[in-house]
């Protein structure tokens, strides 16, 4: 899958055209996949423009792999992604359950990070910035870790 796709640049947001080029998928297909896969929720700004984050680009590449390379149907790929997310959550719960003093993630960071009208990251206090970055890193790790 990844062999013929270009590397993902280090950026916070990607336009739908950039994501299409990075993932080898046309923009109309990406818009369709947003309806089919609840995990894809790009931020929408002015004029309903979509801005994808790094973890969403990785998710799109995974969806593309399931559909195009492994031959899954949309329904089958949706189920496979849900299984992978579920097993990752269980693994993470198991890891975090044994760690004493592990900081718990504040759900307000999730609400802020997913807010289409949220302020810029630099406008947020440092502890919340760290929580947002930690959440994104955990999501990236989840996407990169092969399913058990």
Fold observed for domain 2-144: Multidrug-efflux Transporter Regulator; Chain: A; Domain 2 (1.10.1660)
Across the chain, what does the average pLDDT equal?
80
Q: What is the largest CA-CA distance in the chain?
A: 47
Q: For residue 147, what is the DSSP state?
A: P
**The pLDDT value given to residue 98:** 52
Domain ranges of the chain: 2-144
| Partners of 5 in beta bridges | none
Q: How far apart are CA 123 and CA 56, in angstroms?
A: 23
**The pLDDT value given to residue 88:** 83
Task: Copy the structure tokens of residue 64.
Answer: 């593309």
**The pLDDT value given to residue 117:** 40
Q: For residue 15, what is the DSSP state?
A: E
- Start-to-end CA span in the chain (Å): 19
Burial class from Cβ neighbours inside 10 Å (0-12, 13-18, 19+) for residue 139 reads buried
Q: For residue 52, what is the DSSP state?
A: E
**The pLDDT value given to residue 76:** 95
Question: pLDDT (tens digit, 9 = 90+) per residue, 9-26?
Answer: 998 999 999 999 999 999
The reported pTM is 0.61
Question: pLDDT (tens digit, 9 = 90+) per residue, 97-120?
Answer: 654 444 444 444 444 444 444 444
Describe the strand order of the beta sheet including 43-45 as a list of residue ranges: 14-15, 49-52, 43-45
């Amino acid at each position: 899958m990844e062999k013929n796709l270009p590397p993902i640049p280090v950026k916070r947001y990607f336009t739908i055209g950039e994501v299409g080029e990075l993932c080898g998928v046309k923009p109309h297909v990406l818009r369709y996949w947003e309806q089919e896969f609840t995990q894809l929720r790009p931020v929408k700004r002015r004029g309903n423009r979509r801005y994808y984050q790094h973890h969403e680009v990785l998710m799109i590449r995974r969806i593309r792999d399931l559909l195009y390379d492994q031959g899954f149907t949309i329904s089958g790929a949706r189920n496979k992604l849900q299984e992978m997310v579920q097993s990752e959550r269980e693994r993470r719960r198991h890891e975090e359950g044994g760690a004493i003093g592990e900081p718990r993630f504040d759900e307000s960071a999730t609400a802020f990070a997913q807010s289409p009208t949220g302020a810029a990251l630099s406008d947020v206090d440092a502890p919340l910035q760290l929580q947002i970055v930690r959440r994104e890193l955990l999501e990236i790790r989840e996407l990169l870790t092969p399913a058990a």
